Structure formats: C-alpha cells, structure tokens
Amino acid sequence: MKDTTSTDRICLALPTNRACEEAIVGIAEEAAYAARTFGIEVHLLILDSCDQATWTEHTRVGADLPATPGVIVHHLDEARQREFLRRTIQRSDLAAPDRLLTLMLPAELSYGACTNRAFLIAGALGCRSVHRRDSDSSYQVLDGEKVFPIHHELASLGKTASQASAAVTETVLAPHHGRRRVSMVGASFVGEPSVDIAEIEQLDAGVYHDVVSLWAPAHWPDEQKGQLVEESFKGAGTTPFTVDHSTLTLVDPMRVDMCNIAFHHEVYERVPLPPATDTIGSDYFLIHLVHDAALPGVLHNRHIQNFYTPFRRTDAGFRAYQLRFVKFLLSMLYLNDVYDRMSAAPDTALLDEQERVRADVISGFLRQSAGRDQTENVWRLDRVSTAYRKLGGRYAEFADLMDARREQLLDEAQQDTEDFAYLIDAWPVLVRAARDTGLGSAGA
C-alpha cells in the first residue's frame, strides 16, 4: 500500500439506496469547495446500493461532474463494496468472517452498516475524518450560494479545543477540556421532519404523543417524556440560514443529525455504529458517545434541507418505514440503558490515558444491556398496536403485520445489541486491516 501520511485527506461520504442525481451534483460542489478553501484532498465516496438502472444513471452523473483539483470520486456499487470488505476481513484473520461480512453489508437496509463501510474505506484511503450527508437532503442557499456544512467541519475538526476556539462564535466548555481534540462537528436540518410520522400527528395528536414517547426510558416521568416528544425528529425547524453561528461545546445529541455530521478518525476508528437492520436511528450512537465521553464538538447552524422521497408516500414505503420506526422503539430498551451507563460513568472511565474512547468499556455496557428482560418491549409493542388500531386504515393493517412478527421483532432487537458488542470487539483489527489492504481495484 502506498504511503498516505503526507497528504491531508478527508472522506465526504454519501450512502444511497435511491435515485439522487441532484444530491450527487450538490455533494460534488461541496467537495470542490472544501478542496479549494482548505487546500486538502477530498475523497468523495458514493456508496451506492441502488438497482442497476439507477446505478447506471448515477454513473452518468458522476462522469459528467467537472474535474476538480483535489477531489477524487469513488463510486462503489455493492459488488465493489463487498470485494473490499472480503479482502479486509480476510486480512484481519478474525474468526467468523461470514458473520462479519453480513454485519458490514447486510441484505437489508442498515443506516449504521453503510456508515461503518464509509469509516473502513476512509481508513483504507488514509483519511483523517468522515463527513456524512444523505441522499434525501440538499443544501440551503444564501444570496445565490449554497451553504456548505463542511466549512465549519474543517475549521475545527481534529484541533484541540483550545486551538479551535478561535474559529467559532462562542465557547461553552470547561477549561480542563481545552487539551482534548474536537471529535465531532455537526448541525441539524430544516424542512420536513426526519422521521415520517407527521401524518400521525395530523390524524391524532394524542396518539402521536403516545407513540413518540415510547422511545424514552419507561421510568421517565410524563413531563420529561412530553419534552422529548416536543423535541423529537423536528430538527432546527423551518427558519432559513442567514448568518453563521457556531459553538464549541459538549454537543447535545438532540441538536445534530446524521445527514449533517463529521467525525474525527480517533472516534470512529475506535467504535463503529450499530449494524442493526431496518432500524432508524441506528447510526446515532457515536453522537451520544462523544457527548458522554466529554469530547469537545462544534455545533453550528448550516443546517441541511430535508425532504421526503416519493417512495415514502407509497404503501410499500409506508410499511417499510413504520417497521423501521417500530424497531427503533424496541432498540431503545437496550440503547437507553447503555446511554444511562455512559452518562453515569465519569469521562475518565470512558477514555484511556491518551484520552481516546475505550471500546472495551462500551462493548461491556452493551453485553450487560443485552441481558435485560423484554417485558418493557412487550409493553411497547402493545402500545404501538393499540395506537395504530385507533388510527385505523393502513395503520391498523400495519399493526396486524407487526403483531404477527412480535416474537421475531423482540428477538431481533436483542440480537442486534449482541451483534453490536461483537462488532466493537472486532473493530480495531478490521480498521488496521483496512489500512493495510487499501481500496485497490474496488475504488475504480
């Protein structure tokens, strides 16, 4: 593998399983802005899980992008991604290679797994950070110019907090955190809610409150659950961007979204994301980890514009998304417990002597959590079923489908937690193997 240490490289990643020609053009413009403004090498990584016809159209769009100094485009279909993963897993010499490959590239949709692939490929390319966008979003515009989040991400990410303070509007951080690196930079979105349940609120505000509150820990008081419902899935509202504002702080996980995020490699090379399938929110774990480990971050206001794709309006899209939402609710039995353990632990317990995340502590929390009694999740399924039957129509039909899969859904949520712990333990070896393997012909 060639030496990549002398060049400052970043990975700007766009995972997609849908037609998104405009998103590809837009992210290429953001890549060009980053290379031009910061003098770095940008590896634009498009992880494409689309059908052949859409892949072909995306290839055409990529071929028509203007050649830009400092920008290298990698457009990988699932076959190329699988080739890279197989070579990496083989080099790692880890046990159960088939299980690892399935967790990294499952047949079903996985928000965490697609980002984990971006993390490994970024390592293979010698990148110092990953900057993630989504295919169902676009950039805000001010005075005819697109507002690129990468401006704030590259101004601070990887610097110590003391160094980064000069590049932000304000600092809300204890002085003793000044020596730690800025590990995450992010913002949220404006426009349509991130989770496609707005129709429930329109049909019955009470049902909406009951359903959304189910992602809170069951023991929370009603007032706290109500506050969570008010804040959930709405991003930064609808107010358009007018002027920059950025805060160096311990970033509140409720204020950022994975369509508008960047992580330093010292975070994602220590701990991956949950590889759960058909589960929204499975890619938000590192946001919580960065906060609870008291790693500095920057919260800015260059919010992404979110929109719904036509598929979500179809009956098939409705069923698929409701399943992902229900599996998200079930995952919280375990993840809320892990978040509680992380927040209760002193940050020194989550970081090693070099102030890097201790992956073994996190996988230990997950294994403890995986043993939790499922009664609370049975209660969640009962509540969703009752709520959806009250709404009637296609919600009642979905409740029938959900009830028929009840035991399977309960078991999958527990298995997802165990799989995440397993992947964390294997992750450092996979990361080293990816660096040694390089992207090679898979990146063509």
For residue range 142-161, list pLDDT tens digits in order: 999 999 999 999 999 999 99
Segment 98-109, tens digit of pLDDT: 999 999 999 999
- Answer yes or no: is 181 within a domain: yes
Q: Is residue 312 part of a domain?
A: yes
Residue 4 has pLDDT above 70, yes or no: no
pTM: 0.96
Note whether residue 4 is domain-resident: no
Task: Supply the mean pLDDT for the chain.
Answer: 94
| DSSP-derived 3-state class of residue 179 | coil
pLDDT at 235 over 80: yes
Residue 247, in any domain of the structure? yes
The per-residue pLDDT for range 48-74, each reduced to its tens digit, is 999 999 999 999 999 999 999 999 999
Q: Is residue 398 part of a domain?
A: yes
How far, in Å, CA of 208 to CA of 231, rounded? Answer: 13
Please name which of 374, 403, 375, 378 lies closest in space to residue 388, comparing C-alpha atoms. 403
Domain-located, residue 1: no
Count up the domains in the chain and report the number: 1
Per-residue pLDDT at 2: 40
- The string of DSSP codes covering 228-240 is HHHHTT-TTTTPP
Angle between helices 315-344 and 393-404 (to 10 degrees): 60
Residue percentage of the chain with pLDDT more than 70: 96
* pLDDT tens column, 312-367: 667 888 899 999 999 999 999 999 999 999 999 998 899 999 999 999 999 999 99
Give the structural domain span for 198: 9-439
Considering the domain boundaries, does residue 444 fall inside one? Answer: no
Is residue 88 within 8 A of residue 115, CB to CB? The reply is no
Largest CA distance in the chain: 61
Residue 284 lies in a domain: yes
- Residues in Cβ contact with 315 at an 8 Å cutoff, skipping those fewer than 6 apart: 394
